[in-house]
A and B are shown apart, each in its own frame.
Chain A
Amino acid sequence: MEQKELIPHLFRTEFSKIVAVLCKWIGFEHIDIAEDIASDTFLSAFENWTYKGVPENPTAWLYTVAKNKAKNHLTRNKLFTNKIIAELKATTPASEEFELDMSEENIKDGQLRMLFAICHPSIPQEAQIGLALRILCGFDIDEIANAFLTNKETINKRLSRAKEKLRAEKVELTYPTGGEMLNRLQTVLTTLYLLFNEGYYSESNDAVVREELCNEAMRLLELLMNNKETDMPMVNALYALMCFHVSRFAARKNSTGEIILYDEQDETLWNTELITKGAFHLNKAAQGNQVSKYHLEASIAYWHTIKTNSKEKWENILHLYNHLLQLSYSPIAALNRTYALAKARGNETAITEAEKLQLNTNHYYYTLLGELYKETDSSKAKQHFEKALSFAKTSADKQIIQKKIDSL
């Protein structure tokens, strides 16, 4: 890898590890110092490697430099020395010399603790996702702004406000225990679910960033699954859901970036390896007797990995949506459920129910109504599609709807 690609690549993978391990050592309240040290390390790498060439083991180089910078910081900064050393003395054995433990085990432990610290109910979900992207996934502020379709200043403000709040709440890098663990795990899963959705459904045009958001959400879930205490059924269910969705990545866009709808996808492009992996984790999720919304969504996604329409398929999907809506309502689930109702019970039944949904500003709602009327009443279908067009926001959505009108 060329140096100009290598550093950003290493930044993505190593920045978060350095920050996590540093924070585990100096405490979450000093996260800004940890971030500064990590950023500084990469700055040194950039300066050094440009003149002296890339070292044989770049990762080890980064860790050594980070360690030294941390050490220097310890001795140099008066505030740091006075405040933190005093605290550290109280918590670590006196004989222990300052040594940054960059072993794989300690990195994973640090990142897992960080995940729980960031996904704290005291800060808004958007801030949790932003912090996760910055601190756990090594995204730079521009990339986060891009993913959220906003600007750098907004993200910077959001992140520093969130960190301040976490400091005020005295959040520590410790595992929650007992019942608190389950509560917090739910917040963590919601954040990872949203992080994934941000990537999967984002209106941002940057396909690479989008795919990376999905991959990062999955990587962080793997951290949870590799830890005995957090390897719970609902964690596996969410992972299965992501596997099934990502399996269709290659099939859902054509070469010009237009979205290809499910029915028109070339299923030979579906990633069978991921589908198998998803099925494995869905099976694992079936242990225990709790059915979370992730179980239901993963099961629905599983049925969608079978392209052939059968009575059994739609009967099952309808049943799962009926269940899902009782647990947690969302307009998109209501619309998808109505589509399944049409497949399982016929368009007429579905139209009656669709008209009761009254999602009057939702373009998917009118697209669905248009679809349901298409075969029996093309003028009504056209009316609905045109209404959908007027509410659609992205050009991708408008394109899809226009195609439907043209093909009537």
Chain B
Amino acid sequence: MEQYALIMRHEDGMKVASPEQIQVWMKQTMDWIGNIAAQNKFVSGTGLPFADAKVVKTKGNKPVVTNGPFGDIKETIGGLIIVKADSVEEAVEFAKGCPVLQGEGNSVEVRKIAKDDGVH
């Protein structure tokens, strides 16, 4: 069995949602993860809060630190979970249930986790 990272991308991280809306999303996300965990396919996961985020870049060989996760583009990562799956198709099925996809333009990227086998 392989492991896959499901990376949740928000098209516009600047959008501010109401606390009530955030609570609904949280609940949906917990249910989604619960669905995966109930199949014994959940490995780990974490949310990535936007507060206190910084971006480190290089400008003329020097690191430059800016506020916010967004840089020049608005798209940002909201969190990621790692799941077990027999195939990428199965991992994609898990991704389809992700509540982030309710937002137009948002996406979930499915990436295989490299095995520590000296090849990957």
Contacts and interface: CB of A to CB of B under 8 A. Distances in A.
B37 interface: yes
B30 A325 contact: no
Interface in A307-346: 318-319, 321-323, 325-326, 329, 333-334, 337-338, 341, 345
B35 A353 contact: yes
B38 A326 contact: no
Interface in B20-69: 27, 30-31, 33-35, 37-40, 42, 45
B42 A325 contact: yes
B31 A325 contact: no
A333 B39 CA distance: 11
A250 interface: no
Contacts of A170: none
A329 B35 contact: no
Given A318-B31, A322-B30, A322-B31, A338 B38 contact: yes
A357 interface: yes
Contacts of A357: 38-39
A356 interface: yes
A329 B42 CA distance: 9
Contacts of B39: 334, 356-358
B4 to A, nearest CB: 16
A337 B40 CA distance: 12
Interface residues of A, number: 18
A356 B62 CA distance: 52
A394 to B, nearest CB: 25
Interface string A21-37: 00000000000000000
From A338, A353, A358, residue with most partner B Cβ within 10 Å: A353
Contacts of A326: 33-34, 37, 42, 45
B33 to A, nearest CB: 6
Contacts of B33: 322, 326
Nearest to B35: A353
A214 B53 CA distance: 50
Contacts of B30: 319, 322-323
Contacts of B34: 318, 321-322, 325-326, 337, 341
A117 B81 CA distance: 39
B6 to A, nearest CB: 14
Nearest to B45: A326
Interface in A149-180: none
A326 B45 CA distance: 9
A319 B39 CA distance: 16
A329 B37 CA distance: 7
Contacts of A323: 30
Contacts of B42: 325-326, 329
A333 B40 CA distance: 11
A326 B31 CA distance: 11
A356 B96 CA distance: 15
A353 to B, nearest CB: 5
B28 to A, nearest CB: 10
A356 B41 CA distance: 11
A338 B34 CA distance: 9
A356 B38 CA distance: 9
Contact of B37 (A319, A325, A358): A325
Contacts of B40: 329, 334
A353 B31 CA distance: 11
A356 B40 CA distance: 11
A353 B34 CA distance: 10
Top 6 closest pairs, chain A to chain B, by CB: A322-B34, A325-B37, A334-B38, A329-B40, A322-B30, A326-B37
Given A322-B33, A334-B39, 16 more contacts: A319-B27, A319-B30, A321-B34, A322-B30, A322-B37, A325-B34, A325-B37, A326-B33, A326-B42, A334-B40, A337-B38, A341-B34, A353-B38, A356-B35, A356-B39, A358-B39
Interface of A: 318-319, 321-323, 325-326, 329, 333-334, 337-338, 341, 345, 353, 356-358
13 contacts: A318-B31, A322-B30, A322-B31, A322-B33, A323-B30, A325-B38, A326-B42, A334-B38, A334-B40, A337-B38, A341-B34, A353-B35, A356-B38
